Amino acid sequence: MGVISPAGLRQLPPETLEQIQVFAELPQVPALIWIVHPRMKQEADRLQAALLQFAKTPEGVQFYAGNAYKGMRLVTPEELRSLDRSAREVKRLIQRSP
């Protein structure tokens, strides 16, 4: 038994996919979220623009051709709210760590 992301699943070879049985599907969440520290406020807009334009660059085209991701986009408020429970649990676990 294991857990895999949709992007990871799309990267598996067909012979492996044939052997997989889906037991359950979890709610979709963003695969990756970039967060800018408040001290970087002045750089935030520039970083956001660069990340959102990356797929249109030769390096971005090459990067996305080698995986199942399609590009980057802004996260929605609903997506952020859907992660609240998990974020609280991660914070709790970090605070307990030695």
Angle at 10 between CA 20 and CA 64, to 5 degrees: 160
Smallest CA-to-CA distance from 29 within 81, 88, 92 is with 81
User: By the 8 A CB rule, do 33 and 75 touch?
Assistant: yes
Distances (CA, A) of 79 to 34, 35, 38, 45, 75: 13, 14, 21, 21, 6
Work out the percent of the chain whose per-residue pLDDT is above 90: 39
Work out the percent of the chain whose per-residue pLDDT is above 70: 100
| pLDDT tens-digit readout, 5-28 | 877 888 889 999 999 998 888 777
Below-50 pLDDT ranges, the chain:
none
Q: What is the pLDDT of residue 30?
A: 79
- Residue 19 is given by DSSP the state T
